[in-house]
Chain A
């Protein structure tokens, strides 16, 4: 359990900071002059040693830091290098190995936030790097050693999505003897792979190789299939998720149904079978396909007319129960794997292709079902209009993908499955003419290129050019495909009897909703975001939740299978560990400052907490308190508390104000301060860096966990200090990593807009934005716009506005000064002795900075305390400790 004591003996152990500036090869050094930054760092208060290194993250780089810690007796370390998402864990581990508390560390991102985005302003980029280092040094001065929480881990996994990725993950986890729940929203597992006829490039029968795996899943004692179910609610954190799964009523009792199918024989209702892409019917009581696992029928209540013929047909088995209700199953889960796969995009949006209007324009998945022996036509490939085998066929690629109007991304597997379908039809009907319209053919897989070569040899024609239009002959229902053949530069008008569109893969329906439930971010299209695209492709930013298969982006079968196994491996790390450490960056209440301890009736902290982590007893004289194990550390309550009674470990008011002061020490009126959340916006800014989207170098970032943490005081303090412009940027509200933090930021900041405008701050100088982790371009655009506003007003104009607002701002910030840590800092600043930290920290003890504010104990009687926490092991020792080790 966390020993989060804030006692620092500044007198006997003053800050001794080591600063390390990384070259990152030439990534940083080609723009920023590291030696200048190092020289500057040496002048900063508390800095004992400053060095540069070609690769700080390399073994020699880390050894250097470790050696310095010993040699110079460093107690705090700053590394100016890349993103926190990239190497913060690396360096934390490094200093931890050298005996320092890992939280006595701060990173300055001078790569994604400076060298990669200001390559044309080398001097300014170096200046920015200096500022970022100064801010990191300022913050690290005030950090406190924190201990990681150790939480128990429930040895049980949940997999959302029963496609081939989910199946692979489930089987691997089950082999490790881990109890696994496989939730699938449709009545059967199998997913998209079950719909396919053959697989490329081996031409294996898809269902023939998948069905045995599905059966294995069904029979495995460690796997529980929850089919026809959806994940409704997820609470908790790594190792300790509480998941609510809704089991939709299938009106058939799973333990009684034998899958004999007599009920479907008597059902009078025919509706299109989604599994067959609507090419053939199914009954209102159905299994989607013959190989379904579990082989249990389901009644589609949207189609059922309640004639009860099925009840009669079922007879003595009595497996049908029309009175069934939705049922919520509650599960305790240690780790979650998202394997929700993809959907196919409806190409009727592209009007010029006429899908949905011209009968013989089909999608590739329809073609798949049409030539599948298990399909509605029993494998006879016919065209929809007249049921005859077409003599020729045009297949069009990149329909809705690689198209800026719809989806910019490449759907990845369409080239291969188009070629596969063409090959297959060529085998079945050697006389059929098959023409593939392509932009490029992408075959980056083992033996894929050879497969493409075979297709060319088999006489399949490839024309380079995206068709502009398809026109139907109303009599024959034949289609004329118009395109420009790029190779010859000529217009092609090709009459064919049938057209197949390789439509884009899109995230499966409900991906955004699931993202919200799991607090895992989606990109703009809805694909789930990985924690790091290169190094953590199977992890989500939420610890304990992993990704497998096409949920993360289009993937073919081998990739999905390997990701399924990979995600199972990632999850088993946690599940087999027994216990897990989590970040202690939680909020805590200063009981003396909480107004409720003086009989107040405030419940703001309680209302804004999305996790129910606040124990709030208004009117009882008891101060509010926070249950450490339940707090996720967004900091919304910290920002909302009108008494400034709540603070957050590692993101305290003092630490953030210290950063502000460092960043705005010189020429503040030229600078744009951006508060970003750790997840979407922080990663969006990083994304601008990795994509090298240039923007002006007068911008400075401050990272907090959530936009909800950005106190109105911070914004006002920035303007008081003379900032040119301030941006508060979070996730898109629906994607907020902390459920509602972004919404509370919205309310708070919107209120502030009006107030600041009244004080004479021009509207463009203060903005609230949403930037997702993929919107690097948007981030760069916002930065450019805000810089333009600053430039337009000019330093004089901004100074004038700020001066006018100054008295009011100072008045309003009075309350923030009451926070001991901040008050001390501001007094220092007022005395123009900001850099005099070493003497300052000595005074800090007397001024209250060093006062002990232990982690708040549960204010409830001991017996009930742990029921409230619901996490006896994590909370109880802390409570006991706080109460004197009882």
Chain B
């Protein structure tokens, strides 16, 4: 069977997976210029179709960005990676329309993230600075309405505009977590993470030294991937229960956290309510264990509530 086979085309700029049947046409595009090789894609993929291509460093600077590669045999066009990609490098099209099937079928939540602009609170004299300052060039000036516009599709919610505009922009980031830089542990003269950081949270200060402005961090973790001091991981198993059956997943945990110069932790993510094993699995793999557990506990609580509600007189029990 040749028809319906996935065709992969790879160039310097993008990887395109194309699967054309007569009644269905699925396309997935990885924009490698936007990709920072943050590892979220490989982590979230339920079919292990995405592999990480490590960065190439030279004298502490980035020579070639980290990236990904995709196995067309394994990809099932679920769209999870396109939802979770922190730099919006992945676009999934179904019959020409942008769509993530997992979201359409409520097997994956919508992330709660936004970037709103309050024209009234903005000093227009700072217009050019704010536009220039945006690391992803998604802010543009709409002369007709005399206002600033954000390309929501490609905005990575880094909050640079929020700071630059003195709060006229309000950004909600999906991920909460922490980022820690310990320069004393750095390889001397290495600035690779500043080269890869999509938000300029990691940057080179006036003295030529590495600096962190953690407010801008979107917790993508690309810096950890390029850091020459690699995280050492040990595998362990995570199990969770779904519909009466316990499922076990292989998971990895970092053992040398105290030796890493840069550590990004993802604690929790803002998302809409969804009942899905795929989402739980993704969370377990993306965030630290606690995030996954919280999610599962929350699920259990909700289900308990539903059950009680359904019971006769359950509502009153719940009210107590």
Binding site for B on A (CB under 8 A): 266-274, 277-281, 284, 302-303, 305-309, 311-312, 320-323, 346, 348, 355-356, 359, 362, 366, 370, 376-377, 382, 384, 387
Contact = CB atoms under 8 A, between A and B. Distances in A.
B101 A280 contact: no
A377 B24 CA distance: 11
A305 B81 CA distance: 12
Q: DSSP class of A's interface residues: helix, strand, loop or mixed?
A: loop
Interface of B: 1-5, 19-24, 26, 46-47, 76-80, 101-102, 104-108, 242-243, 245, 247, 275-279, 281
Given A348-B2, A377-B22, A267 B243 contact: no
B24 A270 contact: yes
> Which of B22, B80, B108, B277 has the largest number of chain A CB atoms within 10 A?
B22
Given A271-B76, A272-B19, A278-B4, A307 B107 contact: yes
A376 B24 CA distance: 10
A569 to B, nearest CB: 36
A283 B238 CA distance: 28
A272 B102 contact: no
Given A305-B80, A376-B21, A384 B102 contact: no
Contact of B276 (A309, A370, A382): A309
A338 B272 CA distance: 54
Residue among B26, B107, B242, B281 having the largest count of chain A Cβ atoms under 10 Å: B107
B21 A272 contact: yes
Contacts of A356: 2, 5
A278 B279 contact: no
Contacts of A355: 2
Nearest to B245: A323
B254 to A, nearest CB: 25
Contact of A278 (B3, B76, B101): B3
A280 B80 contact: no
B22 A376 contact: yes
A281 B23 contact: yes
Contacts of A281: 4, 21, 23-24
Contacts of B79: 268
A313 to B, nearest CB: 10
Nearest to A278: B4
Contact of A269 (B19, B20, B23, B78): B78
30 contacts: A266-B107, A268-B104, A271-B76, A272-B1, A272-B3, A272-B4, A273-B4, A277-B4, A278-B2, A280-B24, A281-B4, A281-B21, A281-B24, A305-B46, A305-B76, A305-B80, A305-B278, A306-B46, A306-B247, A306-B277, A307-B102, A309-B106, A312-B243, A312-B275, A359-B20, A370-B22, A376-B21, A376-B22, A377-B23, A384-B20
Nearest to B7: A356
Contacts of A303: 76
B247 A322 contact: yes
Contacts, number: 118
A268 B1 contact: no
B284 to A, nearest CB: 12
Nearest to B1: A278
Given A267-B105, A268-B78, A270-B77, A308 B276 contact: yes
A279 B105 contact: no
A312 B275 CA distance: 9
B1 A270 contact: no
B293 to A, nearest CB: 18
B21 A279 contact: yes
A279 B102 contact: no
B2 A268 contact: no
B277 A308 contact: yes
B105 A309 contact: yes
B51 to A, nearest CB: 18
B3 A311 contact: no
A308 B20 CA distance: 27
B22 A305 contact: no
Contacts of A306: 46, 247, 277-278, 281
A355 B101 CA distance: 30
Contacts of A284: 76
B168 to A, nearest CB: 39
Contacts of B4: 271-273, 277-279, 281
Contact of A384 (B19, B22, B80): B22
A172 to B, nearest CB: 33
A269 B76 contact: yes
Given A266-B105, A305-B47, A311 B243 contact: yes
A273 B23 CA distance: 11
Nearest to B6: A272
Nearest to A387: B22
Given A278-B3, A322-B245, 14 more contacts: A269-B78, A270-B77, A270-B101, A271-B4, A271-B76, A278-B4, A278-B5, A284-B76, A305-B47, A305-B76, A307-B105, A346-B1, A356-B5, A359-B20
Nearest to B22: A279
Contact of B102 (A271, A274, A305, A376): A305
Q: Which 3 A-B pairs have the closest CB atoms?
A: A272-B4, A278-B4, A307-B278
Contacts of B21: 272, 278-281, 376
A305 B78 contact: yes
A280 B104 contact: no
A323 B281 CA distance: 16
B107 A309 contact: yes
Contacts of A280: 21-24
A274 B277 CA distance: 27
A323 B245 CA distance: 8
A690 B236 CA distance: 66
B242 A308 contact: yes
Contacts of A308: 242-243, 275-278
B25 to A, nearest CB: 10
Contacts of B275: 308-309, 312
A14 B239 CA distance: 82
Contacts of B277: 306-308, 311
Contacts of A273: 4
B49 to A, nearest CB: 11
Nearest to A314: B243
B239 to A, nearest CB: 12
Nearest to A283: B105
Nearest to A344: B1
Contacts of B26: 270
A79 B275 CA distance: 80
A305 B247 contact: no
Nearest to B19: A272
Contact of A382 (B22, B101, B279): B22
B114 to A, nearest CB: 25
A122 B37 CA distance: 80
A92 B5 CA distance: 57
Contacts of B46: 305-306
Interface centre among A278, A306, A307, A346 (most CB of B within 10 A): A307
A280 B3 CA distance: 9
Nearest to A281: B24
Given A267-B105, A312-B275, A274 B242 contact: no
A284 B102 CA distance: 12
A697 B308 CA distance: 93
A370 B3 CA distance: 13
Contacts of B279: 307
Residue from B23, B26, B79 having most chain A Cβ neighbours under 10 A: B23
A279 to B, nearest CB: 4
Contacts of A370: 22
Given A303-B76, A309-B106, A323-B245, A376 B23 contact: yes
A279 B26 CA distance: 13
Contacts of B106: 266, 309
Contacts of A348: 2
A384 B276 contact: no
A307 B281 CA distance: 9
A281 B24 CA distance: 7
Contacts of A382: 22
Most buried by A among B78, B106, B247: B78
